[in-house]
């Protein structure tokens, strides 16, 4: 109920009462004083009633505003390595990796480098070679693509005149190289030469002042 409605009700009650007084007392001054007194008393009563109603309101009827902190989840780390495969062995993972279908230019460069640098090596040795190329592409110290790494001048001896030799695409060695390239790219199996950026054949001694990481069959790896 609004305050204006309260006032109207009070005045109406007062007017009725005064009309009765006028009919019996006949005094205008007395009527005016009586009206004002009744109005004041009526407004006080209505105000008290409104206060009681406000106090008795249920919590659900009371509007409250609260300031709450908005917490947003942090973005996932985009540089985090993917989880390793749950395959029982690298050979099992290789056999389960699809090797048919089209390859991107970059993946063909990666598989080609694995093929020419380490075909005939154990799968772990092929993976170590593949991961060197992947590590270089991610390092910021070499070209940022696999083809850029492979064709960088004076880096891989099988590249001659900026070209890669022909590949026997029907061979088991090429199928293995394709599978190892995908595994190296995905990071789904840990390299035995983790973090390596360089390697050379075991039968040579270039005298590099680098940190030796591992020797895997016929290659020695450094970072």
Domain boundaries, the chain: 3-57, 90-222
* Burial (CB count <10 Å: 0-12, 13-18, 19+), residue 129: buried
pLDDT of residue 46: 53
pLDDT of residue 185: 98
Give the distance, in angstroms, between the CA of residue 123 and the centroid of all CA atoms in the same chain. Answer: 34
pLDDT of residue 78: 37
pLDDT of residue 160: 93
Tokens of 115: 């093929």
CB atoms within 10 A of CB 112: 24
Residues 117, 165: Cα–Cα separation, whole Å = 12
Whole-Å CA distances, 159 to 37, 155, 165, 213, 221: 111, 8, 7, 25, 20
Which stretches of 25-171 are DSSP H helices? 28-56, 90-95, 105-118, 123-139, 146-150
Per DSSP bridges, beta strands 198-201 and 219-222 are antiparallel
CB 221 within 8 A of CB 213: yes
Buried residues in 142-174 as b, exposed as e (16+ CB within 10 A): beeebbebbbeeeebeebeeeebeebeeeeebb
Residues 100, 173: Cα–Cα separation, whole Å = 14
* Angular region, 151: left φ>0, alpha ψ -120 to 50, beta rest: alpha
Residues 212, 220: Cα–Cα separation, whole Å = 8
- For residue range 54-68, what is the model confidence (pLDDT) as tens digits? 445 544 444 454 444
CB 128 within 8 A of CB 192: yes
N residues, the chain: 223
pLDDT beneath 70: ranges in the chain: 1-83, 85
CB atoms within 10 A of CB 60: 6
The architecture in CATH of the region 90-222 reads: Orthogonal Bundle (1.10)
The helix (run of H) or strand (run of E) holding residue 222 is strand 219-222
pLDDT of residue 52: 52
């Amino acid at each position: 109920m609004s305050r204006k409605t309260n006032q109207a009700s009070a005045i109406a009650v007062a007017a009725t009462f005064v009309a009765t007084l006028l009919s019996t007392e006949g005094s205008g001054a007395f009527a005016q004083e009586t009206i004002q007194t009744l109005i004041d008393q009526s407004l006080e009563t209505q105000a008290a009633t409104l206060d009681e109603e406000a106090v008795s309101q249920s919590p659900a009827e009371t509007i409250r505003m609260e300031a709450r902190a908005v917490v947003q989840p942090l973005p996932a780390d985009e540089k985090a390595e993917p989880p390793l495969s749950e395959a029982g062995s690298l050979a099992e993972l290789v056999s389960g990796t699809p090797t048919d279908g089209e390859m991107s230019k970059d993946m063909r460069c990666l598989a080609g480098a694995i093929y020419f640098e380490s075909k005939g090596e154990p799968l772990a040795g092929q993976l170590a070679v593949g991961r060197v190329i992947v590590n270089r592409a991610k390092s910021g110290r070499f070209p940022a693509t696999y083809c850029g790494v492979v064709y960088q001048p004076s880096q891989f001896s099988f590249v001659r005149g900026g070209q890669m030799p022909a590949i026997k695409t029907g061979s088991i060695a090429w199928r293995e190289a394709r599978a190892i390239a995908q595994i190296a790219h995905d990071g789904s199996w840990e390299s035995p030469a983790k973090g390596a950026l360089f390697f050379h054949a075991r039968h040579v001694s270039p005298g590099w002042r680098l940190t030796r990481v591992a020797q895997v069959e016929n290659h020695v790896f450094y970072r």
